[in-house]
Amino acid sequence: MKPDQSEWFPGLCWFSVILLLLLQSSVSKSEFQVVVSTDHVVAVAGEETVLPCYLLPEISAVDLQIMWIRDNYVAPVCLFEFGFYNFQTQDLSYRGRTELFLDELLFGNVSLKLRGVRGSDHGRYRCMVKSKQWDDDAVIDLAVRGECYRLISCPGCCTLCFLVAIALLDKVYFLIIEE
């Protein structure tokens, strides 16, 4: 005797629904978007700055490849892969000055901290994030403004003198000339 179709059909439907939900869940975890919260950051020379960047949906980036690069540069500013920094290919001018927020990678924060900002750091940065199934990137511009230096006033003088490092910035705060 054959089983009645009405007996096994509901079970098959539930199985199909559960299978589809599992498949959709795994697809949504493998696809993400790299997002910057602003299109440019203005930093002061000599200080530290953060280039804000994160993943949507808010997934862990611990096991992903995270690479920050400069446009028209070959070597990466910062490369994190397989859970470790890769200093072998890093641009030498950034060595010891960059880091990610390792304790926040779990929440999708792939922002770059840059210490000892220099005039030569101005320009466009690209954050590229790759998984085995997906990759995405976003760009952010960094503008560097000059730093002020205080001079010691001479005895008997009633004014203080200041020397400002001269920097010419364009309308979107890109450094054009620095003296």
Q: What is the pLDDT of residue 115?
A: 98
Position 43 in a domain:
yes
| 73: its two tokens | 């540069």
Same domain membership, residue 99 and residue 78? yes
Residue 92 reports pLDDT greater than 70? yes
Query: pTM of this prediction?
Result: 0.69
Residue 155 reports pLDDT greater than 50? yes
Q: What is the pLDDT of residue 61?
A: 97
Specify whether the CB–CB gap between 154 and 161 falls below 8 A: no
Same domain membership, residue 160 and residue 130? no
Position 113 in a domain:
yes
Same domain membership, residue 135 and residue 88? yes
Residue 117 reports pLDDT greater than 60? yes
Q: What is the pLDDT of residue 52?
A: 98
Q: Tokens 């060595």 map to which residue? A: 95
- Angstrom CA distances, 45 to 62, 69, 72, 116, 160, stand at 31, 20, 22, 7, 23
- Angstrom CA distances, 33 to 61, 160, 178, stand at 12, 51, 36
Question: What are the pLDDT digits (tens) for 24-44?
Answer: 434 344 799 999 989 999 999
Position 52 in a domain:
yes
Residue 103 reports pLDDT greater than 90? yes
Domain that holds residue 174: 149-178
